[in-house]
Amino acid sequence: MNGYQLTFYTEHNRRHDHRTVCEWLLHEASRLGIHGVSVINCAEGTGHAGAHHGAHLLNLADQPVQIILAVTEDEAQRMLEAVEAEHVHVFYTRTPIEFGVLGGEEPRKEKKHLSIFGHNPH
């Protein structure tokens, strides 16, 4: 399938209303029915204005974060429109990609039954 990789770049502490920008983007993607979003916490980076951002031992507030989505053209457009409509100030890139799933059907996950003794009674 052809589509786009949308990558949003922000810092751990940046907020939009009562959520971090990262949390807002994740919530909005879910609301729009977009699945498969990845969040990558980066060690350091330089923002579009030239400021250095980085994670420090006792303070992760300025840590750079990437929120990555593999989406169809329609999903990309709806996500970007939602960000624009809410006036969320965030840098992004949109790159054409091919994506899909390999390996056939996903294996079924067995339900785990645990007893109070820590072993499976079945």
DSSP string, the chain: -EEEEEEEEEETT-EETTEEHHHHHHHHHHHTT----EEEE-SEEE-TTS-EEE-BTTB-TT-EEEEEEEE-HHHHHHHHHHHHHTT---EEEEEEEE----SSSPPPPPPP---TTSS---
Do residues 94 and 4 touch, judged by C-beta distance below 8 A? Answer: yes
Residue 24's CB is within 10 A of a number of other CB atoms, namely 23
Domains and CATH numbers, the chain: 2-98 (3.30.70.120)
Each residue's pLDDT expressed in tens, for the chain with a length of 122 residues: 999 999 999 988 888 888 999 999 999 999 999 998 999 887 555 555 555 445 555 555 567 899 999 999 999 999 999 999 999 999 999 999 999 999 988 777 766 655 555 555 55
Distance of alpha carbon 30 from alpha carbon 28, whole angstroms: 5
- Scan for tokens 């989406």, then name that residue: 71
Single pTM value for the model:
0.75
| pLDDT of amino acid 100 | 92
| pLDDT of amino acid 53 | 45
